[in-house]
Amino acid sequence: MGLRFLFLAVLAASCAREPDLRVYCSLDQVHAEPIVALFEQRTGLKVKADFDVERNKTVGLVNRIIAENRAGRSLADVFWNNEIGQTLRLQNLGLTAPHRSEATDGIPDSFRDPLHHWVGFAARARVILHRTDIPSIQIPESWEEIRLEPFASRGAMAAPLTGTTLTHFAALSHRLGAPTVLDWLRNASDSRLTIGGGNADVMRRVCEGDLDWCLTDTDDAAAARLNGYPVATRFLDQAEGGLGALLIPNTACILKGAPHPESAALFLDFLVSPEVEHSLAFSRSEQIPLRPGVSTPPHVALPGRDFTVMEVDWKGTAVEIGQRFQEFKEIFVR
């Protein structure tokens, strides 16, 4: 009885141990949990990870961070975002802390903040997912063609109100000008293009054969292909002089007032390591490494080698998200 009591006491003490690090994470839990577990194994630190739910599209965790800051109590140390727009929103609100290291310096300049408040890694590209049992001539090659016939009536995109679709059209708005993009969206809304609730929604419609193609991300495209559906991807605007395909990275930042700043720095450096980019490339989400030289499976296309990347001013895109969201909403929420 004495040994059993001692075992239970030790177990209770272990379970009651306060975490050494708290992470808010919007990457799908199935992909993020193995990374967190490996970090715990390597460092001996205990991590509490809070995950966003699909319907919140990252915004839920960001609003929690903002609310906690207003209440004067920062609970999380690191925000691991599966995109970039909301990370930039936090930076603009003054809710991130700078961190620079040899690890973060290994990421290309275009995917890290010049003031070191965030760093990108393991990206997704915006692509056309299409069925392989339709002629390629029926698949759009540029973002302009998406709203036009004969493409629109057989295709779909998510409303640009959340996640990567919002970031995509904010980036286009900053690059091409708001009047051009707002006019495009109004015409798309009035066309026969199907407007879905999210990337996963329009991806399922293509898999089920309701539609021939959709605008989505490479991770949704990978899921469709790995589930056995007859689908493939096309990168947009790849003609000479074209805009190129938008590449949206995961981002990581240390939060202002992080309770465990040293553990946060260790975790952020681990996230952007070649090992983690390699792991996410070989996961079912097939994320695209940003570091040169990271090995990938055959189905992971690499920027510069397999497709041209759209140049993006991320700071300007963040401003555009704030300025254009209500206008986007007025077009699609009636």
> Which of 22, 14, 7 is CA-nearest to residue 255?
22
pLDDT at 297 (0 to 100): 95
Cβ neighbours of 288 (radius 10 Å): 27
> Which of 204, 62, 61 is CA-nearest to residue 129?
204
Is residue 118 over pLDDT 90?
Answer: yes
The two beta strands, 247-255 and 96-97, are antiparallel
Q: Provide CB contacts within 8 A for 129, sequence distance 6+.
A: 203, 206, 213, 214, 215, 216, 220, 221, 224, 231, 232, 233
Contact of 317 with 174, CB cutoff 8 Å? yes
List domains and CATH numbers for the chain.
Answer: 19-122+248-299 (3.40.190.10), 124-246+321-332 (3.40.190.10)
Give the C-alpha separation, 207 to 211, whole Å.
Answer: 8
Percent of the chain whose pLDDT exceeds 90: 87
pLDDT tens profile 203-256: 999 999 999 999 999 999 999 999 999 999 999 999 999 999 999 999 999 999
Contact of 297 with 286, CB cutoff 8 Å? yes
- Helix/strand/coil for 32: helix
The full 3-state SS of 293-331, as one line of letters, equals: CCCCCCCCCCECCCECECCCCHHHHHHHHHHHHHHHHHH
Which CA distances in Å does 239 have to 34, 92, 143, 245, 307? Answer: 39, 35, 12, 11, 10
Is residue 187 over pLDDT 50?
Answer: yes
- Helix/strand/coil for 214: strand
Is residue 55 over pLDDT 60?
Answer: no
Give the C-alpha separation, 127 to 214, whole Å.
Answer: 8
pLDDT tens profile 24-46: 999 999 999 999 999 999 999 99
Which CA distances in Å does 59 have to 26, 83, 86, 120, 308? Answer: 9, 11, 7, 18, 29
Buried b (16+ CB within 10 A) or exposed e, 92-113: eeebbbebeeebbebbeeebbb
Do you know the residue count of the chain?
334
Is residue 68 over pLDDT 90?
Answer: yes
Pick from 83-92, 182-191, 261-270: least confident: 83-92
Cβ neighbours of 315 (radius 10 Å): 15
Q: Provide CB contacts within 8 A for 162, sequence distance 6+.
A: 57, 58, 59, 198
Is residue 54 over pLDDT 90?
Answer: no
Is residue 2 over pLDDT 50?
Answer: no
Cβ neighbours of 287 (radius 10 Å): 29
